[in-house]
Amino acid sequence: MVGNRLVLLTMAALVGCGGDRDGGAAGDDSTRDLQRPAVNADARLNDSPRTTSNKPATKAAAKTAAKPVARMLATGTAIPAKFDAGISSRTHKAGQKLTGTVSSDVKDKSGRVVIPAGAKVYVTIKVIHESERKSDKTGKLVLTPTKVVIAGRSYPVSGSASALDRTLKDRKTNAGDIAKVGVGVGAGALLGTAVSGGSTKGAVIGGVAGGAVGAQRAVETQDRDVVVPAGSRLKVTLAAPFRRSI
C-alpha cells in the first residue's frame, strides 16, 4: 500500500511540474514583435480612386471651355467671289437667284478666317434691263446679296453686290429697230413732198433722207443686252457686321 501511494505521489508531482512549464511558455510574451501594430480585421478599406490633375476642376470650367467663339467682319468688308453661272438680260429676270463661290479667305482684324474660300454666296437679281441707247455703257443690273453658306450652315448677309466684268452685247436687228427706220423714211417722204409742192421727185429725195435719219436713229437706240460671263468676278460689300460662331 505504502509503495503504491509513493508511486501515485511521484506521478502527481511530475504532472504538476509539466503543467507549470506549459503555463510559463503560454504566458511568455518575449517572442512577440512589439513594433508591429495589431491588425484590425473589422476596419473598412479605402478603395476611392485618386483624383488626377488633368480633370476639369469644376463643371463650370468644362462648360466655359466648350463655348463657341464668335468671329466678326466689320461693315464695309469686301467678299471676293466668282459667278457660278452667266447672266444675260435676254434670258434673266428680276427676282431670280444666283450663286457665287468665294475665291479667297476673308479674315477679321486679327487675321482669323471668318469666311473661307469655297463658301457659297447667294444673290438675287433686283433689277435687270438691256441698254437702249448707245450712250448707255452699262445697262441696268442691280444685285442684292442674301446669305453665305459655310459647311452647310447659312448666315444672313446685308449689303450690295457688283458684277465687275459685265459687258453689253448687241442684239440682232428686231421689229422695233425696223420700225424706227420706217418712221424715218415716212417722215422724210412727207417732208420732201411738202417742200417740192407735191412732186414725186421730192417724195423720193425726202424718203432717202428720212431713211438715213431713221437708220442713224436705229443705231443710236439699238438694244444691247447686259451680259455677265460665268466665272467672272463678283464683289459683295457688307452693309452691316457679319458674325460667325466657330
Q: Parse the chain into domains and list their residue ranges.
A: 69-171+224-245
pLDDT band at 13 (very low <50, low <70, confident <90, very high): low
CA distance 44 to 67: 43
pLDDT band at 208 (very low <50, low <70, confident <90, very high): low
pLDDT for residue 138: 76
Contact predicate 174/192, CB 8 Å: no
pLDDT band at 34 (very low <50, low <70, confident <90, very high): low
Nearest to 196 by CA among 183, 209, 184: 209
pLDDT band at 25 (very low <50, low <70, confident <90, very high): very low
Report the share of the chain in percent with pLDDT over 70. 53
Of the spans 64-68, 144-148, 175-179, 181-185, which averages the highest pLDDT?
144-148
pLDDT for residue 136: 78
DSSP structural state of residue 131: B
CA distance 157 to 101: 15
Nearest to 143 by CA among 126, 131, 158: 126
**Residue 115 burial (CB < 10 Å; 0-12/13-18/19+)?**
buried
Report the share of the chain in percent with pLDDT over 90. 46
**Residue 1 burial (CB < 10 Å; 0-12/13-18/19+)?**
exposed
CA distance 116 to 131: 36
Q: Which CATH superfamily is domain 69-171+224-245 in?
A: Type IV secretion system, VirB10/TraB/TrbI (2.40.128.260)
CA distance 102 to 149: 10
Nearest to 159 by CA among 150, 171, 146, 149: 146
Residue type present at position 218: A
pLDDT for residue 23: 47
Higher per-residue pLDDT: 65 or 222:
222
**Virtual CA dihedral for 37, 38, 42, 45, nearest 10 degrees?**
40
Nearest to 116 by CA among 163, 82, 79, 84: 79
Buried b (16+ CB within 10 A) or exposed e, 211-240: bebbeeebeeebbbbbbbbeebbbbbebee
Q: Which of 56-65, 86-95, 133-142, 235-244 has the lowest mean pLDDT?
A: 56-65
- Which region holds residue 229: left if phi is over 0, alpha if psi is between -120 and 50, else beta? beta
Q: Which residues pair with 99 in a beta bridge?
A: 122
pLDDT band at 26 (very low <50, low <70, confident <90, very high): very low
Across 208-218, average pLDDT: 51
Query: Is pLDDT above 60 for 16?
Result: no
Whole-prediction pTM value?
0.57
DSSP structural state of residue 205: H
pLDDT tens readout for residues 92-151? 999 999 999 999 999 999 999 999 999 999 999 999 999 987 777 778 999 999 999 999
Query: Is pLDDT above 60 for 195?
Result: no
Contact predicate 211/184, CB 8 Å: yes
